[in-house]
Structure 1
Amino acid sequence: MANHLYQNDLPDGLHLGPIVAIDCETMGLHPHRDRLCLVQMSSGDGDCHLVQVRKGQTDAPNLCKMLADPDVLKLFHFGRFDIAAMHNAFGTLAAPVYCTKIASKLVRTFTDRHGLRTLLHDMVGVDISKYQQQSDWGAATLTDAQLSYAASDVLHLHKLKTAFDAMLAREGRTETAQACFDFLPMRAKLDLDGWPDMDIFAH
């Protein structure tokens, strides 16, 4: 298991496979106000590839190519935020996507606990720390503790997806989940375009 930190973009020639787990760290929870600082990715092999994004950066060609690749499934937990953050920074809308938080809400209807730490503990028996979640991700140099925390958010998502795929199939909700995943990039774009809270389907 290793963390590979890059500046500004993924290196040329790096292929992370057909399913890439992705998470982002930002300066806050409002994409228009709070800049994107770090994008972390894993192919599910135990390694994490992290791209530190400089202030004012508006493109990352290799990363954006992967985000837009129709043959690469982008795997998130609460993808609505990460998709919006990367689209706001780079102008690229990630698709196709899968979101473990949506999957959890569709099948774990016996609980309202759908956070990543809870899901990893309950579904795959992995415990992660959230201690660094509110640290300064805009710092010029990130600490080893920050990088380890960031990596922990993506290293186990493939296992979590496998567990949820089985549960969705068991409950007959695979098709519903897929429709939600297909709409998710547009849901993120609606957030950026000014409809973060309004139910546009309501009367």
Structure 2
Amino acid sequence: MSTTLFVPRAGGIVTIHLHRNDLPDGIEFAPVVAVDTEAMGLNPNRDRLCLVQLSSGDGTAHLVQIIPAAHGGTDCPNLKRLLADPGTVKLFHFARFDVGLLQASLGITVAPIRCTKIAAKLTRTYTERQGLRELCRDLLGVEISKQQQTSDWGAADLTPEQLAYAASDVLHLHALWARLEGLLIREGRLDLAQSCFDFMPARARLDRLGYDLPDIFAH
């Protein structure tokens, strides 16, 4: 079952498609798809995946509400196929959390990936402001709200405010990556960033095994 919302924003209308259980058959995305998640909390070993947001960077967001099996949820085969597809680049902000949550929840390896937070940390060394809201403001001149960040994402019916917030987390990632990729090239760190991106699925598995603290790379 899918629902479509049209949300006004500066510069036009955002189209949000909400899908319950899985992506519909036949849907196509660009070779680079922006991805974000919402969960019941920040511990992937405890807190369940509730929502997966996707966008091709065209002003349209597809939101997949993950329904627990006890309430009629499915195995999300279309969503899993997209996230594991080696021919589709998945673009995240703070991929370490999202990739870990998706891999733990869906039993897949999420790759290949790019991460705007890693790119920002490798290039914007003059500031500690590397959050998505700060990057959108500093690099794109776009203000996004984080008001719904800590709301109940496990609710059966998500509010229009929640859906608009969730969509905003993927709608700007393509433009943000374009700016950050330019900075990586300028600073000669694009290859280093790519090495970090390639390692991310393994880093997420190490986190899942409890090697986040102490870090396995620490002395």
- Bin of the TM-score, shorter chain as denominator length: over 0.9
1:8 counterpart residue number = 21
Out of 23, 44, 50, which is 1:37 matched to? 50
The answer to whether the aligner puts 1:153 opposite 2:169 as a matched pair is yes
1:177 counterpart residue number = 193
Alignment of 1:106-125 (within 5 A): 106-125=122-141
What secondary structure, in the 3-state scheme, does the structure 2 residue paired with 1:154 have?
A: helix
1:80 counterpart residue number = 96
* Alignment-mate amino acid for residue 87 of structure 2: D
| Unmatched runs of 5 consecutive residues or more in structure 1 | none
| TM-score using structure 2 length | 0.90
Number of matched pairs: 203
Misfit runs of 4+, over 4 Å: none
| Unmatched runs of 5 consecutive residues or more in structure 2 | 1-13
Alignment of 1:13-92 (within 5 A): 13-56=26-69, 57=73, 59-92=75-108
What secondary structure, in the 3-state scheme, does the structure 2 residue paired with 1:49 have?
A: strand
Q: How far apart are 1:193 and its partner, in Å? A: 1.6
What secondary structure, in the 3-state scheme, does the structure 1 residue paired with 2:171 have?
A: coil
Q: What's the % identity of the aligned pairs?
A: 59
Q: Is the 8 A contact 2:21 2:74 kept in 1?
A: no
Judging by fraction of residues, say which structure has more strand: 2
* Alignment-mate amino acid for residue 179 of structure 1: S
| TM-score using structure 1 length | 0.97
Deviations 1:110-132 (A, max 9, x none): 01111000000001111100000
Q: Is the 8 A contact 1:58 1:90 kept in 2?
A: no
Instruction: Determine the C-alpha separation between the residues in 1 that align with 2:84 and 2:91.
Output: 13
Q: How far apart are 1:17 and its partner, in Å? A: 1.3
Deviations 1:8-34 (A, max 9, x none): 111111111100000000000001110
Deviations 1:116-175 (A, max 9, x none): 000000011111000000100000000000000000000000000000010000000001
Provide the alpha-carbon RMSD of the alignment: 1.0
Instruction: Determine the C-alpha separation between the residues in 1 that align with 2:194 and 2:105.
Output: 26
Q: Is the 8 A contact 2:37 2:98 kept in 1?
A: yes
Out of 179, 186, 194, which is 2:202 matched to? 186
* Alignment-mate amino acid for residue 101 of structure 1: K
Q: How far apart are 1:59 and its partner, in Å? A: 2.4
